[in-house]
Copies of this chain bind each other. A is one copy, B any other.
Amino acid sequence: MPPPSISRYPVPKLEDLPEDIRARMLEVQEKAGFIPNVFLTLAHRPDEFRAFFAYHDALMLKEGGLSKAEREMIVVATSGANDCLYCIVAHGAILRIYAKNPLVADQVAVNYRKADITPRQKAMLAFALKVARQSVEIVDEDFAALREHGFSDEDIWDIGAIAAFFALSNRMANMIAMRPNDEFHLLGRTPRKSQD
């Protein structure tokens, strides 16, 4: 039986890719043990690939008031709202690892109100979901509510921009039927795993 398709579009072979894109893939493979399908499938369009990951890195690897786990919470919660299988599963795994918490990703993907997170994090996700679903209704009061939880205006930009970026990412994944690597479903689900 052939492996299941990971995209509606052709997936380029590593050896056919531009050098910079192949290098990035090998780097992530070295670190994670496998190449996440988002790299393989988006490489169908090298220029868009480069912009996509430049944007991703600018938002997700940035220093600031949000921890790495918090950034991934935003990804998982808004991907849940957008019903994006790839991002829920892949970023759910990353969230479990960063948070060293095997449960939080499943919680945040379905209902952040009941998740094992702080009130500050719940306020952060409420705003992210408003950006994801009804950004036209954002008003100054939404900013004020976040400042009361200690978020700076730059933090709020981060929250909203991550929600906005994954509005793009979720739609691309759904359009091309991007399939999560099997590995992601299990990663970080045991406390031991996340301590490695």
Contact = CB atoms under 8 A, between A and B. Distances in A.
B157 A176 contact: yes
A171 interface: yes
A54 B58 contact: no
A177 B163 CA distance: 16
A194 to B, nearest CB: 13
Contact of A135 (B143, B160, B174, B189): B174
A157 B9 contact: yes
Nearest to A108: B85
Contacts of A35: none
Nearest to A110: B85
B8 A143 contact: yes
How many copies of the shown chain assemble into the complex? 6
Nearest to A105: B185
A51 interface: yes
Instruction: Kindly name the residue among A45, A50, A84, A110 whose own CB sees the greatest number of chain B CB atoms within 10 A.
Output: A110
A33 B58 CA distance: 30
Contacts of A160: 171-172, 175-176
A135 B82 contact: yes
Given A168-B167, A171-B160, A113 B88 contact: no
A91 interface: no
Interface in A14-48: 44-45, 47-48
Nearest to A170: B135
A143 to B, nearest CB: 7
B106 A185 contact: yes
Interface string A132-143: 100111111001
A136 to B, nearest CB: 4
Given A48-B59, A51-B52, A88-B110, 14 more contacts: A44-B157, A45-B157, A51-B51, A51-B54, A85-B106, A89-B106, A102-B186, A114-B177, A135-B170, A135-B171, A135-B174, A135-B175, A164-B172, A167-B171
